[in-house]
Chain A
Amino acid sequence: MPEITLEHITHHYGDKEVLKDFSFSFVQGKTTCLLGPSGCGKTTVLRLISGLETPVSGIVKIDGATVSKNGEIAVPPHKRNIGFVFQDLSLWPHFTVYDNIAFGLKEKRERNIKEKVSDILDLFGISDKAQKYPHQLSGGQKQMVAIARSLVLQPQVLLMDEPLANIDTHLKEDILGHLKTVQKQQLFAMLYVTHDHKEAFHTGDHILVMNAGKIEAAGTKEEICNSTSNYVKSFLKF
């Protein structure tokens, strides 16, 4: 199974430093939640792993191979076999649901595209929406399409940037249930960004609490709850 390692990452946008000497290795085949307040650098971690950003300094490794290093990109995003579900979902508005999901498969010249798309649509229960355009879907349906679009390519890592924010608990659990089912089948690692500790405890096998570009605490739910860090205690409102 692949391993994702971030070594001594420092990154900034203009004058604003968002990550400071950040190092971490992500647990394989499990779900790791990045938990922290807005602007603490959670999304930046995902963008660095995906290759949408290159770290100003530091190294990103996947499977032991360096994919980005000190501002240089060695492996472009589409060759990292990573799925990314964006916060705003970013479904392509000029493609139907079917085309949104099939696009990556077509570009990678995969076989049995129709079957693969049909299977994933069935799994999420949105087969009847295949020919609809994104603007014709409800919020929950859009979220399912965005996740299905990433999963159909069978990524080794799935990055989720608060994609389930602003939906009701029932639907959120429904989507997470589908996601867990696929994770068990495909055994991909999932990195899930959230600012809600209840969601993190519910979703994550491991949790990473971040503050101002640094790791404050890391571990299982129990370990985080028992953390001695004042920041963690305050953030969790214990």
Chain B
Amino acid sequence: MDRRVSTHIIRIVPLSLLFIVLVLPLMLLLFQWLTDTDRTVLLSFTDQKTLLLIGKSLWMSFTAALLATCIGTICGFLLYKLKIPYSGFYKLALLLPLLISPYIFAVAWKDGLFWLLGNSAAVYSEAGVITVHAFVFFPLAMLITGSALSQVHAGYEEAGLMVVSVRRMVLKIIFPLIRPALTTSFLLILIFSLSDFSVPAFFGVRTFTTEIFTQFSALYDFPMAIGQSVLLLLVCLLLMLTEHRYLSDAPFFSVSTKGSVSKKYNVQKRQMLWHGIFWLLLIVVLLIPVFILTVQSLTGKTLFFARAWELVWPAAVQSVKLAVAGALLTTVIGLWVAYEKERRAHQFPNVLLLLTFIVPSTVLGIALIRYYNLPLLNFIYGTSLILLIIYVGKFGFITSRIIGNNIKQIPVSLGEAASVIGIPSKRIFLKILLPLMIPSLFTAFVLSFILCLGELGATVMVYPPGMELMPVKTFTISANAPQALTSSMTLINMGLTMLLILLFFIIGKWVFKKYQYA
């Protein structure tokens, strides 16, 4: 076969598969909505209640995104621009809230508020959801702005320092240069917050995602659920289109092969202040939730740990197995999409993954149910394959960007040097590019694994019968079980997640030491 034809096939087959398996369900959802004869769905768009609810969801997410971006940017600046002892520890510790599923913090903070205020309406308030979202997502802003700050060339800052004070230089030189990172952080957190189902669901606050879930799973009003899903989908698409240029290159975790080019500032004075700020933040975002869950688990006449362990353990085993499969798949697909974008200037697969990434989990869940719920496709719908598809849709973009940012930093000339001495392109990929990408592949796998492990929004809608998964188990039991049991289960989930993070951290240290060449 002609080489060019085979190259085209290699490119087209996976792209078509990605489109048919993941994107077509969303398009069909839109098509179904457009051609539906039931106009009540369309009319619901102008319904005051629906508009108020989407307005409420938007302002809650906007506030959470603003708060998280501010906290994350301040932390990013302090940790990446100032020479603070133990900054490596703070970076890792402050990252944990992002790696632990949001519902765990939702349960903890709800317990805490319940403990403080009793069964008052304040417990079920929007403020709780906004606070948890801000605390959970600020590490994303910290990572993205921190990575951007590390890339600001020291020369720009020093040239600025020759004419203005440090404060003015930060304001006039550094912040304008990292504006894309600030915009990306804000938009990503806005989309994450708007799409999240678990936190408002645990707090009992009505948002658009919980409403769609209620319409679909409780009231069985499918046309209404589809109509609302489309509305939310359109809002997210609009957000994506406004800053598509920045979002499509979102850095997430930057696994750099180059050292930082940025200037770091000595701050021998006020050391106590910086440490105080970080410890305060760690106490609020991490230690208080753990403390609350522990206290709540120990409250009451019966200790629920044993019962919680019985319930969680089988689900944990299944969750870990599925998360490993999901992470492997998303990493492989992420690698292919990243390579297509960065080395072959083929943007389309990246755009497809970006599209499915910004679609809220509940909307993706509904789209997949409508598409795959056919006897012919039961081998997907009735098995864990449906969950793997969701994982690729939700997290494939993240893995592709982590790997893509790494590929961008590998000089093209390394491959060209091999090419001129007659090494075939497949060997160049396997022997030159791939070994240099191992740290980013590992990072992509770990992040994807953690995200798959905690995914709730779409999983709760599509998980096949007989399958027990950690977040779903906790969510379903929380409706009727005593609070102490839910807290015990959540604490066990949190402990297991932390243990896995620690394990990956140890492996990661070895991987980075062995395979980071610069």
Contact = CB atoms under 8 A, between A and B. Distances in A.
A191 B39 CA distance: 78
Nearest to B153: A90
Contacts of A90: 153, 155-156, 158-159
Given A84-B158, A90-B156, A94-B177, 8 more contacts: A52-B158, A76-B165, A78-B163, A86-B155, A90-B153, A90-B155, A92-B173, A107-B164
Given A93-B177, A94-B176, A86 B159 contact: yes
Contacts of B176: 94
A110 B153 CA distance: 28
A88 interface: yes
Contact of B163 (A51, A88, A103): A103
B431 interface: no
A92 B160 contact: yes
B162 A77 contact: yes
Interface in A156-178: none
B161 interface: yes
B427 interface: no
Given A90-B155, A93-B177, A107-B168, A153 B163 contact: yes
A151 interface: no
11 contacts: A51-B161, A86-B155, A90-B156, A91-B159, A92-B159, A92-B177, A93-B177, A107-B164, A107-B168, A108-B163, A150-B162
A104 B158 contact: no
B258 interface: no
Closest 5 CB pairs of A and B: A90-B155, A104-B163, A90-B159, A107-B164, A77-B161
A50 interface: yes
B158 A86 contact: yes
A83 interface: yes
Contact of B165 (A50, A52, A78, A91): A78
Contacts of B173: 92
B178 to A, nearest CB: 10
B343 interface: no
B177 A84 contact: no
B38 to A, nearest CB: 52
Given A90-B156, A93-B177, A78 B172 contact: no
Interface in B148-195: 153, 155-156, 158-166, 168, 172-173, 176-177
Interface in A40-98: 50-52, 76-78, 82-84, 86, 88-94
A178 B172 CA distance: 30
Interface residues of A, number: 24
A5 to B, nearest CB: 20
A50 B177 CA distance: 24
Nearest to B164: A107
A50 B157 CA distance: 13
Interface in A206-236: none
Contacts of A84: 158-159, 162
A82 B161 CA distance: 11
A166 B173 CA distance: 27
A94 B177 CA distance: 7
B172 A88 contact: no
Nearest to A105: B163
B161 A52 contact: yes
A108 B168 CA distance: 11
A84 B155 CA distance: 11
A149 to B, nearest CB: 8
Contacts of A83: 162
B480 to A, nearest CB: 57
Contacts of B164: 78, 103-104, 107
A108 B89 CA distance: 40
Contacts of B159: 84, 86, 90-92, 149
Contacts of A94: 176-177
Contacts of A76: 161, 165-166
A93 B157 CA distance: 12
Contacts of A50: 162
Contacts of B156: 90, 92-93
Given A90-B153, A93-B177, A94-B176, A82 B162 contact: yes
Interface string A118-153: 000000000000000000000000000000011001
Question: Looking at A51, A92, A104, which has the most chain B CB atoms within 10 Å of its CB?
Answer: A92
